[in-house]
Structure 1
Amino acid sequence: MDIHTVANSFSSLWPSDRVVATTGQLLHAGLDTRIIEAGVERNLILRLRRGVYVPMHTWQGAKPWDRDKLVLAGHIAAGNGSYVYSHFSSARLHDLQLWNSSKLIHVSTPYSASPARTSQDIAVHFAKIAPRELVQRFIPGVGLAHHTSLPRTVLECAMRGSLEQAVIIGDSALHAGLNLNELAELAELAE
């Protein structure tokens, strides 16, 4: 299959409402598995993770911190709303400024997860999260995401990250409307 046929297929059939797309979404749009594989082989699309893709021009045009957000978007699309994102991943979803943060995707779960069944780019945290500490929102072009509230996110990042990271995230959160009383209340509960 020549590159022009593959490129034309993607330009005409890529779902216009998707930043990242799953295999199922691409198949539903009219692409087939041969075209998808050819797109990966010819560097027209990038496989972010198994079954999730982004157009290569979107990836190449993104700054490093925006690439981290695209990888997170890929996980959200693949998870179909089944994960609770926390720590630095939630900070990304709150559009907070991060500095020198790892590329790991942080998820919290109320039960202990088996490390053997967890992808290497995922950091799983065992935590019970109160309903008032959760945010649910639909991210256009990606899907439904559940993540920790702004105060909980700031607290988790401060506890897990360096002092510099905590200051930068905390300052960014203040500009985003962080309620210091809620943060203090949450910090007391964490002690």
Structure 2
Amino acid sequence: MPDTGLALDLARLTLVPCPVPLVPTAQLPHPERALANGEVIRVRRGVYAPRARWLVLRPWQRYLARVYAVAMLYPDFAFSHESAAALLGIPVIGDPETVHVLVPPTAAARESAGIRSHRTERSAAVLTIGGLLLTSPGATAVTLARHRHEAIGFAALEAALRMDETLTPQALRADNDSRLSSRGRNHARWALDRADGRCESVLESLSVATIEWLGFPAPEIQHEFTSPHGITDRGDLWWEEAGLLGEPDGEFKYDGRFGDPAELLRKRRQRDRRLLLGGVRAVTHWGWIEVARIDPLRAQLMGQGLRQIAPETHAPLRSLQRLLAPYDRAITRSRRERTTQRRENG
């Protein structure tokens, strides 16, 4: 494989830990009894997890646990695609059903029991981290950009660039150009032409892609504002001509895992006031549902005075909407549960 500049400092990389304890059959005295009693759940044949712990996992956490279960059973496997992404902390959308691994070019590429093997030359892009074999952040992101939805590839590339300070957009493009399959090369170029590492979250990356396909002007990403009192705030998506700041916060920011939601919202209001005093005309916040449904995001931006400057690109919008449908359902369900809980407590 040609030198594509994807070298990195391995000492800086750590894997995302398994989100739930995994127990092999050998360590579970009576697995079928424990399964029947509801004590455990079978992650895959030969590996179990405590049922109560499993049920509270989010979809991408369950996928990560399944990857670790495969690693427990097959320690010589080298992980790729979404499986490597999950281990590295590169965003994985939803709960993929398949664990992806690499096999030599002479082996058969096939899918069996939830494991899909991909023929490839083992190269410097395969690393050993935490005892597991997997493709590097850059190689993983390029693979996703070549084979997945453009917005998914863009989010993966942005995450890889943030993760590895030595990685450059030029190195990612060189890696893509060095691979076989012109179809994959051409498909990846949309994301590669836009990736520069400025988007700080997967929702921000998906928002930037959706905004372009909706025909709105491209925002400046991560613009700094200084208040009259000298306080500097950094805004996510800034349209200077419209005086509009867009903030893709996401519902998870205010669900309690990052602190008291009321206090976080109070600080957000304070920050918004500073921004408005500092020359921002309007600040608008949105989350996963607005991006997943697309129409609410379009209406929200137009309602704040932003105008479309190009026709909408319908094909990627429709396919992204299908991909994000599970997030829409999960967040809607979570909102209903929180509302019910507040009523019961109130």
For the superposition of Structure 1 and Structure 2, which TM-score range results when normalised by the shorter chain? 0.7 to 0.9
Gaps of 5+ in 2: 1-19, 181-346
Which residue matches 1:54? 49
Shift of 1:100: 4.6
Of 120, 132, 149, 1:127 maps to 120
| Identical columns (%) | 21
Question: How far apart in 2 are the matches of 1:21 and 1:53?
Answer: 5
Confirm or deny: 8 A CA contact 2:93 2:152 kept in the other structure.
yes
What does residue 32 of structure 2 align with?
37
**Greater RCO (CA < 8 Å, at least 6 residues apart):** 1
Provide the C-alpha distance between the structure 2 equivalents of 1:177 and 1:137, rounded to a whole number of angstroms.
14
The counterpart of 1:22, out of the listed 15, 24, 45, is 24
1:103 maps to 97
**Is 1:188 matched with 2:186?**
no
TM-score scaled by length of structure 1? 0.75
- Alignment correspondent of 2:107: 112
Q: Which residue of 2 aligns with 1:75?
A: 70
| Aligned equivalents of 1:100, 1:47: Cα separation in 2 | 20
Alignment deviations for residues 42-79 of structure 1 (CA, whole Å, 9 cap, x no partner): 11111111111111122012111111111111111111
CA distance in structure 1 between the aligned counterparts of 2:162 and 2:78, rounded to whole angstroms = 24
Instruction: Quote the RMSD (CA, aligned, Å).
Output: 1.9
How many residues align? The count is 158
1:140-180 CA distance string (max 9 Å, x none)? xxxx3210111111111111111011011111112212602
CA distance in 2, matches of 1:114, 1:174: 30
Using the alignment, how far apart are the partners of 1:68 and 1:22 within structure 2?
17
Matches within 5 A, 1:3-14: none
Could you tell me which of 146, 149, 152 is aligned with 2:139?
152
**Does the 8 Å contact 1:21/1:77 carry over to 2?**
no
| Whole-angstrom distance in 1 between the partners of 2:109 and 2:162 | 38
State whether residues 127 and 134 of structure 2, in contact with CA within 8 Å, keep that contact through their aligned partners in structure 1: yes
**Higher gyration radius (CA):** 2
Question: 2:149 & 2:95 partners in 1: Cα distance?
Answer: 9
Q: Note if contact 2:109-2:116 (Cα within 8 Å) is conserved in structure 1.
A: no
2:80 maps to what in 1? 86
Q: SS where residue 54 of structure 1 aligns? A: strand
Which residue is 2:58 aligned to? 63
Matched position secondary structure for 1:155: helix
Amino acid paired to 1:122? I
Q: Secondary structure at the match of 2:112?
A: coil
Deviates more, 1:91-100 or 1:149-158: 91-100
SS of equivalent to 1:158: helix
Extract unaligned runs of 5+ from structure 1: 1-17, 139-143
